[in-house]
Amino acid sequence: MVGDVAAGGPVLAVFGSDKGPGDAERAAILSQAGAILARHGARVVLIADGALDNVPLVTGVRSAGGAVLVLADDGFVAPPALSDVPVERIDDPEVRLRRIGEMADVFVGLPGSLASGAALYRAWARAGAGASKKPVVLLNHHRAYESVRGFAADIFSHSIGHSDRIVTFTSEVDDLWNKVAWALNQKAA
């Protein structure tokens, strides 16, 4: 069923934002990424703290017939165009982070803001970080996550076994699903 995150393919906790420099390009990337992930049967879960910063992602998922669930605080009001998107209300931000971590099979970072990158990290950490074996796939478009790539090589690789299977990067939105599928296969191995 379209929109049903409870049944189907893998659950992806997706973080990104279309706010800030390069808004139009980021919006297009979010929309394209959403459509690609949905066409492969992925179910998308995201967090809205007050506002939804990734409306193009939701529209992309829905345009491809995919399922989206928004974990939001009690004050969240969906934009009119997304009023029929399922929302699970959890007012406590820590509980929202734990909930998305419990639901996620993979964490996906799309270009966004420092806030969206920090939220991804906090959610992954609440889920158990490397010990959880839940992979992180980062779309490193225009080197958006280049500092994380360096951190992963310098820090994760020495403290988390098989870190290259847990944190992986792609620079092309068209390759995003390939990396997600690869990460899921590595997790299962």
What is the CATH classification number for the domain harbouring 155?
3.40.50.450
Domain-located, residue 2: no
pLDDT score at 144: 76
Residue range of the domain that includes 71: 11-188
SS3 at position 106: strand
- DSSP run (H or E) holding 163: helix 163-166
pLDDT score at 168: 87
- DSSP run (H or E) holding 26: helix 23-39
pLDDT at 42 over 70: yes
pTM: 0.89
| Cβ-Cβ contacts under 8 Å for 184 (sequence gap 6 or more) | 10, 105, 106, 135
Domain-located, residue 3: no
Q: How many domains does the chain have?
A: 1
76: left (phi over 0), alpha (psi -120 to 50) or beta: beta
In terms of pLDDT, which residue wins out, 23 or 164?
23
pLDDT score at 93: 94
SS3 at position 87: strand
Domain-located, residue 1: no
Domain-located, residue 145: yes
pLDDT at 1 over 50: no
Q: Average pLDDT in the 130-139 region?
A: 86
Q: Average pLDDT in the 49-72 region?
A: 92
Structure tokens at 150: 């360096």
Task: Output the CA torsion sign for 117, 171, 146, 161.
Answer: positive
pLDDT at 61 over 50: yes
**Measured between alpha carbons, how far is 108 from 137 in angstroms, rounded to an integer?**
5
Q: Average pLDDT in the 15-30 region?
A: 80
Domain-located, residue 36: yes
Contact 154, 123 (CB under 8 A): no
